[in-house]
Amino acid sequence: MAIFKGILFVLLIAMTAADMAMKMDTSQVKIASEAGSMEFRRQLGNTSELSDPVKIKMAEVVQIGADGLEVTDCAKNGNPLFSMFNPMKRFANFAGKTFNIDAMRENAAMPNAGSLKASMTKFSADLGADVGKLAIDLALAEEAGEVVVGGETQALEKGDMKFNIELSEWKWCGEEDATGAAKFLDVYMEVKGKLTPQMKHARSAAVPASFDIGDNMTVSFSGKFQKDSGAWADMVDGYPKVDPTNPYRVIVRFPRFSTKLVYDPSLTGAAGFVSLSIILVTMTTVVACVMFNGIM
């Protein structure tokens, strides 16, 4: 999930047939139906000027073998061309997908937050018969409270924003009529702020990995995930991490799942800065949660 922090005056400002814009008195977020991207801005100090936008979107989803490398053998029905040009093993065409955005729900229960109420929406897309489904739950907190995931606690203030990423009905190399032996799923998320993500704090047992993205904003990614509705577990060592081939992308790694994997990221911050922490829940059968928090 992702959390944006600020005093909330207006939750839903504008919604077209395709996109949605939600605003607080000091911040705003826009959801684009094309590619399901999110764009967050906040007011700079006491001025009317807005910060540079923080843009977050899904970039790629890649199936990984037991050796930690991308699966190479993923032929379908004995067709070697499918193994070479296969969206099942590497899907990167989020830009070509249209996300359906649900109507706003007010006074809804925020996931993993007890009785905390929020205004929420969901946007989702079918990525294709050989890939799976993706859904993102986005929430604006209507009151202060806490989100607890796998022993990690995230404090929220009224107006904070949080989102979950969920992957479901996933098609795997090595099942049914597809060859290969996928053991993990790497999810690449693109985060573009004023700066490329710079590591501030490495992940530990109770603290997420955090990255400075400029304008006093920090994005943090949890090392916890939930597989097939089981107990929260730790991500493999070395993840989350910045993509060595693209400094704007962060990679999280999940084990193979049957029904769903949940990832729950979050953003938190105190006066003058914004931080993002991620808690794993499937982005619905895999959920990723990112939170942006900031007082403008």
From CA 161, how far away is CA 101, in angstroms rounded? 17
pLDDT band with cut points at 50, 70 and 90 for residue 266: low
272/188: higher pLDDT: 188
List all residues 6 or more positions away from 224 whose beta carbon is below 8 Å from its beta carbon. 149, 150, 151, 152, 232, 233, 234, 235, 264, 279, 280
Give the model confidence (pLDDT) of 132-172 as tens digits: 999 888 887 788 888 787 877 777 777 777 878 889 999 99
| pLDDT attached to residue 131 | 92
From CA 63, how far away is CA 67, in angstroms rounded? 12
Q: Which domain holds residue 280?
A: 12-294
2-11, 127-136, 277-286, range with greatest mean pLDDT: 127-136
Kindly state the DSSP code that residue 36 receives in the 8-state scheme. Answer: T
Kindly state the DSSP code that residue 33 receives in the 8-state scheme. Answer: T
Establish if 177 belongs to a structural domain: yes
| pLDDT attached to residue 26 | 67
| pLDDT attached to residue 289 | 46
Q: What is the pTM of this model?
A: 0.81
Establish if 7 belongs to a structural domain: no
Compute the residue count for the chain.
Answer: 296
pLDDT at 12 over 60: no
Q: Of 170, 289, 168, 273, give the one whose Cα is nearest residue 224.
A: 289
14/66: higher pLDDT: 66
- The sign of the dihedral angle between the CA atoms of 265, 52, 105, 16 is negative
Number of domains in the chain: 1
Kindly state the DSSP code that residue 96 receives in the 8-state scheme. Answer: G
Are 289 and 219 contacting, i.e. CB atoms less than 8 angstroms apart?
Answer: no
Establish if 6 belongs to a structural domain: no
Mean pLDDT value across residues 248-273: 74
Establish if 70 belongs to a structural domain: yes
Q: How far is CA 138 from the centre of its chain?
A: 10
Establish if 27 belongs to a structural domain: yes
Establish if 4 belongs to a structural domain: no
Asked which of 80-89, 132-141, 165-174, 230-239 is least confident by mean pLDDT, the reply is 80-89
Are 178 and 74 contacting, i.e. CB atoms less than 8 angstroms apart?
Answer: yes
List all residues 6 or more positions away from 288 whose beta carbon is below 8 Å from its beta carbon. 164, 165, 166, 187, 189, 252, 263, 264, 265, 278, 280, 281, 282
Establish if 282 belongs to a structural domain: yes
Q: Of 267, 282, 184, 275, give the one whose Cα is nearest residue 225.
A: 282
269/122: higher pLDDT: 122
Q: How far is CA 97 from the centre of its chain?
A: 17
Establish if 1 belongs to a structural domain: no
Specify the 3-state DSSP secondary structure of 84: helix
Please report, rounded to a whole number, the percentage of residues in the chain having pLDDT higher than 90.
Answer: 25
